[in-house]
Structure formats: C-alpha cells, structure tokens
Structure 1
Amino acid sequence: MRSKRNARDRVKQYLDSIYKPNILLKEVDKEFCKGYIAFLRTCTFNNGKKTLSSTTCRIFVNRLTAALSLAVNEGLIERNPFKLEQKEKPKKDSAMREFLTIEEIKQVMATPCRYDIVKSAFLFSCFTGLRYSDIKSLTWDEVHKAADGKTLYIEHKQVKTKNMVTIPLSAEALKWMPKQSKNHEQVFYQLKITHTTVEVLLAEWMAEAGIQKHITYHCSRHTAATLLLTLGADLYTVSKILGHRSIKTTEIYAKIMDKKKLGTVNLVNYMFS
C-alpha cells in the first residue's frame, strides 16, 4: 500500500539524517523514537515544497509502533520503545476541514462529471452527511416514509461507528438519489469503481468547476455539517444527523464557521479609510 511505502520512506530518510542507515533493532530506544517524531515534524518532500501534516505524522508513528510491536511478538526485542506518553506523541489536526460553500456547491452542480454516479453520490452526501462507506452500503429498504406520508428519511447503521442514524431527505438530496429498484438492492449500486478512482474523478470535476480547494469525498460530510450550521441548525441536531458519538466532534464545525464569519467581517477593514 502507498501509505506503508511512504512510512518506510520516512524511516529511511530519518536513518540517513542521523547517519545510521543500518541501525540494529536493539539500538532503537526511546530517544530514537522521540527523534523520529521531531524529524517528522520538520522533514520535507516533493523537493522541499511540502511538510507533513500532524495527522500524517501520527499515521507514520503508528506504522513504526506496529512494526516494533510485531518485533516484540516475534522475540526480536524485549519491549516496544515507542510506548511513549500521550503528550510525547504527535497531536491530531484540529484545524480547518475543507468544505464547499453554498456558491461552490452550485458551481459543481452546474459542472458535468465524467462519471455521473460519482457526481450524484457526492452531492447526495453533501445533503445527508453520509460517509463514502455508508453511500456504498445504503439499501432501499433503509429508506422510509415519515408519518406525514410525504417526507422520506434514511435509517442506516453506519459502517464505521455501527451507530444508527436517522436522516430526513431534503428535496435537494432527493434530486441526486437514483431511481428506486428492489428493496434489498444498494441505492448507489452503479458506483462500482474503486475509492481511489472516485478521488481522481472528484479532483478532475472540481478543477473543471473552478474549485481550487483540495476536495476529497469525505469533504462532502464536512460540507453537510457546515451547510446545516450556516442555515441555522443547532449543534445537537447536526451531531445526530452526522451520527457523532460526542457533540464535541460537531463543535469543530462551529469553530470553523466562527473563523469564516470573522474572516468575512475583516474584509471591510480599512475599506472606508
């Protein structure tokens, strides 16, 4: 896998930087591990143009930790030196999550995508907050009619968390929903390409629409959250629609909206001086 290869490359880069390309396992101690973390925070790639995000650093640390745990299990070393205290490990990124604004959603709606079902699935997720795994697993027997006899809603067990979510379907969401087939069949059964291919198609589509942000499929979920908050939904309701276990997760989106508001207000600074 690409992620594993990248992790190996960073370890080799670190070993070269400390002039120990052939270090023995027994020489890998806590100081080595702390040095590796410090290296990840500052190392560059793509000819020095990019640095690693905190999330990527955490992934690489977890890869090396798992490899050393395997070495312990196989009797190659006595203990895993990467068992660091939480404060010593790279922190999660709590900052900006990329999403589409209302105007940008309109832009992508008006732009053709090379694979129509990718466009439909992505926009459906923008209005429901469903992850890609849930889009793939959603079946027609999970779509129900509300007591008013008009509103449709989804009752779905999330693939990632196993939590049940109940999501009313807006008119906008329904526009991007395929025509109904048999109850047990998947709603987006036509989405038969790999996730990697979906991301490639999304990048092409966003470029055609003039969107310069790095938009992945998961950004549709961020878009759903920020869209609901923009339109006045409360945090509790948004957390339930997204299936968050804790409202603290949803509060991240509220902070994003606060930053966006502040940035918008600051646009008028010195305009009338």
Structure 2
Amino acid sequence: MDWQSGLTGFKSYLRLERSLSANTIEAYLHDVDKLQQFFISKAVKKELKTISSNDLKDFLVWVNELGMLPPTQARVLSGLKAFFKYLVLENIISIDPSALLESPKTSRKLPDTLNILEINSMIEAIDLSKPEGMRNKAMLEILYGCGLRVSELTGLKISNLYLDIDFIKILGKGNKERLVPIGSDAIKFLRLFIDDIRIHIAVKPGKEDFVFLNKRGNPISRVMVFLIIKDLAEKAGIKKNISPHTFRHSFATHLIEGGADLRAVQEMLGHESITTTEIYTHLDRDYLRETIIQFHPRS
C-alpha cells in the first residue's frame, strides 16, 4: 500500500470508527504528512512496510532540530502512533514501529485563573446599552457557569437547551454529548438574550438553531469570543493573559477548591480521562494553608 492509500484509509478510520472531529482528523493527517516531509528532506523513498523504529527516532531528532517544542512533538508522535496502530489493524504492517517510542517530557503549564471578583468586574464591564451587550453577558455567564470550551459555546443550539430542568446538552470533543447543569444567573441572562435581543436578528438560513449570533445572523466565531473577552479584561483592568479557556479553568478550580468531587468535575468538563481533570487541582498556598489550619488536628 502506498502513502496516499494509507492516508485515505486512515482518514476513514478516524472518522467512522473513532468518531473524531474534522479538526482532530486534519491534525492527525498533518502529523503523518510531517513524516513524509522528513523522508523527502533526506531524499529517502520509504514504503509504509519498511518504516522502522529507528526511522521514527531520526524523525523526532529532525523535528527537534527544527525547533518544535516538546508539547508539539508529543502531539505529533500521538498522531503517528494512531496511524501505525491503524496500519497494524488493517494488516498492512505486522509490527508497530512506534510502539516503544516515548513522548518527550512536557511540563504542565497552568493557565491563569480569575477569582470571583475579577470575573464579576469583567461581566460588569459589559455595555448593556448595546444590543450585543446582553449576548456577551449571557456568553460569559455560561462560560464560567458551565465550564464550556469556546467551541462548545459557539456551537450551542437552542434545541439543546433544557432550561426548565436546569441543563444544557453539549456536543464536545469527538462529537461526544454530555449534559451540563446551568445555574440560575446564566439561565436568566440567556433567556433575556433569546427573548429580547436575538428575536430581532435576521438569522441566516440554516443557522436558526444556533444560540449565539453575530450582527450578520451567523453563529458567532471563536475568534470573536476571544476578542470580546480580551476587550473586557482590558476594561476591567485585568493584566493576566485571559482567553475563553480561562473561564473554563476558573470554573473547575473554584469547584474543586469548594470541595466538589473530582469525578463530578470530570463529567461536567467532558474529560475522557480523570488525569486530564487533575490539572485543575492546583490550589494556591493560601487555600492549602487555610485547609491545614481548619482540618488538621495538630494545627
């Protein structure tokens, strides 16, 4: 089997059998393309069946010399491992050359979090005299109140709102659905936006089910949400590096600091593995000190 046939089959496997999103599939295919570029740069013609673990080790040295950071190297290796796993499953190769390769060590860099005063100050900085003000307020309330990814926020559908029972249905990574509780404040401002503001927007055909729209009637983009949040952080005088994910991170951190069960937080965030959720268990020194003083018998 040649490279093109292997990539075509791999793409179908990722879409049909692993149900991955289009963006993830594209990233995996791009990872395999990097391996092809490596062989081309070395003027070596390699068939899929002849790739060895030493070839892959040389490839990792090559991408490191190109200046690729360890987290990116780890992600590329993950894509290649998925590719060779597919080749083994299809009996195209008998031995997986990537099986014994280890990902480069990566440090977990935690994003900034916002405390409740900072979150309130950003929400209060929204100009509600403008039509988009109520939309932006509802978006921030949901980002923080439900811990959504920005793609989950922009893709939120009216048909997936179950506000009478305080839940919304989210389509997360890998097209996996989950139900997430939504608080009273978020419900209040979401209803105000839908009932009083959104009804006056001329929605583009086919986009009627999307909750959050721009002025032209299309679903709001992830870039626009990012820019709105950057602008509000500046107006609130917050100097931290803020993004939509900051609200998701703050949501999880505040829940865990308040004593929430890690498994429950994992479910709400839509994490496949609890080890991913554990990144949110970082707690500041003051909180740890207060916990020791309050609960340790010798304090």
The bucket for the TM-score relative to the shorter chain is: 0.5 to 0.7
Distance in 2 (alpha carbons) for counterparts of 1:87 and 1:213: 37
Task: Kindly indicate whether residue 146 of structure 2 is the aligned counterpart of residue 128 of structure 1.
Answer: yes
- Residue in structure 2 matched with residue 268 of structure 1 by the alignment: none
Deviation readout 1:13-45 (Å, 9 max, x if unpaired)? 9789xxx5433335864223123324545753x
- Residue in structure 2 matched with residue 31 of structure 1 by the alignment: 54
In 1, are the aligned partners of 2:194 and 2:211 still within 8 Å (CA)? yes
- In structure 2, relative to structure 1, the CA distance for the partners of 1:257 and 1:240 (3 Å cut) is same
Q: Secondary structure at the match of 2:251?
A: helix
Shift of 1:84: 1.4
Written as runs of structure 1 = structure 2, the 5 A alignment for 1:223-262 is 223-245=250-272, 247-254=274-281, 256-257=282-283, 261=287
Distance in 2 (alpha carbons) for counterparts of 1:37 and 1:129: 35
- Residue in structure 1 matched with residue 73 of structure 2 by the alignment: 57
In 1, are the aligned partners of 2:53 and 2:101 still within 8 Å (CA)? no
Written as runs of structure 1 = structure 2, the 5 A alignment for 1:106-117 is 106-112=120-126, 116=133, 117=135
Deviates more, 1:28-37 or 1:123-132: 28-37
- In structure 2, relative to structure 1, the CA distance for the partners of 1:198 and 1:140 (3 Å cut) is same
Q: Secondary structure at the match of 1:22?
A: coil
Q: Secondary structure at the match of 2:244?
A: coil
Q: Which amino acid aligns with 1:230?
A: E
- In structure 2, relative to structure 1, the CA distance for the partners of 1:62 and 1:111 (3 Å cut) is same
Shift of 1:229: 2.4
In 2, are the aligned partners of 1:28 and 1:81 still within 8 Å (CA)? no
Distance in 2 (alpha carbons) for counterparts of 1:3 and 1:141: 28
RMSD: 4.7
Written as runs of structure 1 = structure 2, the 5 A alignment for 1:205-220 is 205-220=232-247
1:137 aligned to which of 150, 156, 168? 156
Name whichever structure is richer in helix by fraction. 2
Shift of 1:218: 3.0
- In structure 2, relative to structure 1, the CA distance for the partners of 1:196 and 1:63 (3 Å cut) is farther
Q: Secondary structure at the match of 1:89?
A: coil
Q: Which amino acid aligns with 2:120?
A: K
Deviation readout 1:181-207 (Å, 9 max, x if unpaired)? 49x944324472332443344445445
Task: Kindly indicate whether residue 194 of structure 2 is the aligned counterpart of residue 180 of structure 1.
Answer: yes
Q: Which amino acid aligns with 1:154?
A: F
- Residue in structure 1 matched with residue 169 of structure 2 by the alignment: 156
- TM-score (norm. length: structure 1): 0.62
- TM-score (norm. length: structure 2): 0.57
- The number of residues matched between the two structures is 242
- Residue in structure 1 matched with residue 12 of structure 2 by the alignment: none
Q: Percent identity?
A: 22
Written as runs of structure 1 = structure 2, the 5 A alignment for 1:54-133 is 54=71, 56-62=72-78, 79=93, 83-85=97-99, 88-90=102-104, 94-112=108-126, 116=133, 117-118=135-136, 120-133=138-151
Shift of 1:90: 3.9
